[in-house]
Amino acid sequence: MGKLFLFILPFCISILRYLKVCNKVIMRKIVLVLTLILAVSSAYAQQEPQFSQNMFNHLTVNPGYAGSNDAICATLFFRQQWMGLEGAPTTEVLSASTPMKGTNFGVGIIIMQDQIGFSDNKLINLAFSYQLETDIGKFGFGLSGGLFNHYLDGDWMVIPEDGQGEGNAFSDPLIPNAESVMALDLNFGVFLNSDNYYFGISSTHINNPSFDYNKNASSFLARHYYVTGGYVIQLPNPNFELTPSIFIKSDGTSSQFEFNALALYKKLYWGGVSYRLGDAYSAMFGMELANRIKFGIAYDFTTSEMATFNSGGSIEIMLGYCFNVNFSMRPGEQGTVRF
């Protein structure tokens, strides 16, 4: 969790004082948690959750996307990162957006929960965008704002050396103990959407939300920057399309690059691969079901040093539903967006 956990690192000295009274199991758990924090920080300052199917998840990082495809759309993501590693990130995100009748405006909502170790983050943001029609596509200029809640559970247990009994809780004046803090969170983005390509630039946490804890400790959310783009290539067989895309994110000190390629069949079935530099490569599959619900799954094969601590990789599931909005239709009529 990057800078969000920087204030925890000085606590390690205090924790080490208690290692002599911990049995080997507890020592191993503490070392795993600290290793996880340090590994996430060095690989990428993961204050932001990680996703592999970013081509289906624009609204989460770019409010300019809200209402850009003239459809009411909702998407649900679930991701379990580094399966088999205790305290590894688990993320759920629900996002939805729609254009507003008779205007050039779009609205959306993002609800997220992101857990890692003893940290639990919850976010709810409302997005507003202005959609401008141009010869090269629809430009969306968006702003989102809401509340970011950060919860830390600093409970620690000392287990008797013989390993018997439930152990005794202890407190350290430097370690926050079950604290929940909240801050205002603001984001901005520009998104270009057309039939054959898309391109977006955005920034999250533009106000650097800060959190003050009761134990004379504090942290903040670093401003993050995103660049994303994709293009639809029609293959000789009209039933097939290829959609390469790129996803870049940075916190100003470190950056991460992701390259993706999906092959589509009749816009109903897709499969592809993704490579996140220095971190993982992914296999992705999906389809649109008969009830117009889209289902996608991605499995990450870890290539970073985290592969030493887990053998299960990461799994991500996506559910989406989207249908056209045509306010000129008679009541009871509606269209559908397949992809």
Q: What is the per-residue pLDDT across 284-299, written as a single tens digit (0 to 9) for each?
A: 999 998 888 999 999 9
Is 146 among the domain residues?
yes
Between 160 and 139, the higher pLDDT residue: 139
Given this model, what pLDDT does residue 316 score?
Answer: 96
- What residues contact 54, with CB distance under 8 A and at least 6 apart? 228, 245, 247, 258, 260
User: Which of 120, 123, 124, 141 is CA-nearest to residue 132?
Assistant: 141
For residue 54, give the DSSP letter.
G
Please count the other Cβ atoms lying within 10 Å of the Cβ belonging to residue 59. 30
Between 6 and 304, the higher pLDDT residue: 304
pLDDT classification of 325: cutoffs 50, 70, 90: low
Strands (E), 171-254: 179-193, 197-204, 210-212, 218-220, 224-231, 233-234, 240-250
pLDDT classification of 88: cutoffs 50, 70, 90: confident
Q: Which two tokens stand for residue 61?
A: 């990082």
Between 38 and 60, the higher pLDDT residue: 60
Is 87 among the domain residues?
yes
* Statement: residue 192 has pLDDT above 90: yes
Q: Evaluate whether 280 touches 300 at the Cβ level (below 8 Å).
A: yes
Average pLDDT, the chain: 79
* Statement: residue 28 has pLDDT above 80: no
* Statement: residue 331 has pLDDT above 90: no
- Integer Cα distance of 317 and 294 in angstroms: 11
Given this model, what pLDDT does residue 264 score?
Answer: 96
Q: Amino acid identity of 111?
A: I
Is 333 among the domain residues?
no
Q: What is the CATH number of the domain that holds 312?
A: 2.40.160
- What residues contact 315, with CB distance under 8 A and at least 6 apart? 79, 80, 83, 297, 298, 299, 300
Distances 329 to 2, 28, 73, 334 between C-alpha atoms, Å: 50, 63, 18, 7
Given this model, what pLDDT does residue 12 score?
Answer: 39
pLDDT classification of 87: cutoffs 50, 70, 90: confident
Q: Evaluate whether 138 touches 68 at the Cβ level (below 8 Å).
A: yes
pLDDT classification of 172: cutoffs 50, 70, 90: low
The domain of 204 spans 2-157+172-324
Is 164 among the domain residues?
no
Q: What is the mean pLDDT of residues 187-216?
A: 89
Distance from the first to the final alpha carbon of the chain? 33
Is 165 among the domain residues?
no
* Statement: residue 201 has pLDDT above 70: yes
**232-274 pLDDT tens trace:** 999 999 999 999 999 999 988 889 999 999 999 999 999 999 9
Q: Is 236 exposed, middle or buried (0-12, 13-18, 19+ CB in 10 A)?
A: exposed
Is 206 among the domain residues?
yes
* Statement: residue 52 has pLDDT above 80: yes
Rounded percentage of the chain residues whose pLDDT exceeds 90? 51
Per-range mean pLDDT, top range of 21-30, 32-41, 159-168, 314-323 = 314-323
pLDDT classification of 75: cutoffs 50, 70, 90: very high
- Neighbouring-strand partners of residue 211: 219
- What residues contact 25, with CB distance under 8 A and at least 6 apart? 159, 163
Domain count, the chain: 1
Given this model, what pLDDT does residue 283 score?
Answer: 96
Distances 336 to 126, 219, 265, 322, 339 between C-alpha atoms, Å: 25, 45, 17, 7, 9
Is 330 among the domain residues?
no
Q: Which two tokens stand for residue 281?
A: 């490569």
Residue 112 belongs to what H/E stretch?
strand 105-116
Is 167 among the domain residues?
no
* Statement: residue 184 has pLDDT above 80: yes
